Amino acid sequence: MIFTETALKGAYIIDIEPRPDVRGFFSRTFCQREFAAHGLKPVIAQANVAFNRIKGTLRGMHFQCPPFPESKFVRCTRGAILDIIVDLRPESPTYLRHIEVELSADNHRALYVPERFAHGYQALEDTTETSYQMGEFYAPGDEGGLLFNDPKLGLKWPLPVTAMSDKDQAWPLLEAQEADLGRRMSLVAV
């Protein structure tokens, strides 16, 4: 696997190293030792899949606060997505900055999302499927979200939104939750 750290410390794009032959290719997509060697959390507590019927579907921007922050390892196994993550670590020099990465069944690329980041994506093709490996169990009392079109975040989605959950449309603006979010995401008692 090829690990490329993004502009957001701890977030990595992970490309496979295919070994081709007449059948196609074989490649490793996860290795606890390689993840640990790059300082990544090599734990998978849950594995999830999301199927998106129509392009333009948007999921996010989700996060889980300490004491149960989630790391995520996201791959698109069918179709294509634009994946966006936002740094929510109040002590980070890149706090509230984001990156975007296209993940597709064709490029076989994955994204490692560190703990204390918001994550969301938009399906770029019909019948798109994503696979998530989560580093922590789902803790409903510690979940949160950011509004996908919050002007303070400046996220640029490539397509008009065709489908989204009511919950994802109702997250409060960052301005209304930023003080509480900073307190909840801090690793230092405030």
The string of pLDDT tens digits covering residues 111-152 is: 999 999 999 999 999 999 999 999 999 999 999 999 999 999
| pLDDT the model gives residue 187 | 84
Tell me which of 12, 62, 119, 121 is the catalytic residue.
62
Pairwise CA distance, residues 122 & 57, whole Å: 6
132 is catalytic: yes
Burial, 33: exposed, middle or buried (Cβ in 10 Å; 0-12, 13-18, 19+)? exposed
C-beta atoms surrounding 47 within 10 Å: 10
The CATH classification number of 43-182 equals: 2.60.120.10
Grouping H, G, I as helix, E, B as strand and the rest as coil, residue 148 is coil
Q: Classify 155 in phi/psi space as left (phi over 0), alpha (psi -120 to 50) or beta.
A: beta
188: confidence class by pLDDT, cuts 50, 70, 90: confident
Query: In this predicted model, what pLDDT tens digit does every residue of 55-87 receive, in sequence order?
Result: 999 999 999 999 999 999 999 999 999 999 999
Q: Which of 120, 73, 83, 118 is nearest to 104 (CA)?
A: 83
62 is catalytic: yes
Query: In this predicted model, what pLDDT tens digit does every residue of 154-187 receive, in sequence order?
Result: 999 999 999 999 999 999 999 999 999 999 999 8
Pairwise CA distance, residues 38 & 24, whole Å: 29
Q: Average pLDDT for residues 28-48, to the nearest whole number?
A: 92
pLDDT for residue 189 is more than 80: no
Tell me which of 38, 95, 108, 132 is the catalytic residue.
132
| Inter-residue contact 64 to 116 (CB < 8 Å) | no
